[in-house]
Amino acid sequence: MTTHRIVRIVAGTFVLLSLALGVQGSPMFHSVNWLWFTAFVGANLLQSGFTQICPLEFFLKKAGFRETCH
């Protein structure tokens, strides 16, 4: 599995989980403040699209995951 794919999976999971915890109609509702985490993930995805710098991808490369399929 490549770093690009892992970043997408982790970001999608974080967005869905934080929405489940932050939206009042959700059975998993905890606090509206979880929506700030959703905004953080979205902002990080946006900036990485422009700058090509992603903190999670940096750590995944250090952990030995490959960047592209060979």
What the block records as the tokens of 61 is: 């490369």
- Region 48-62 average pLDDT: 93
* CA-based nearest residue to 10, from 44, 53, 51: 44
pLDDT tens-digit series, residues 21-49: 999 999 999 999 999 999 999 999 999 99
Task: Output the pLDDT for position 70.
Answer: 67
- Region 48-63 average pLDDT: 93
CA–CA gap between residue 66 and residue 56 (Å, rounded): 13
What the block records as the tokens of 11 is: 């970001």
**Whether pLDDT at 69 is above 90:** no
Task: Output the pLDDT for position 68.
Answer: 78
Task: Output the pLDDT for position 35.
Answer: 97
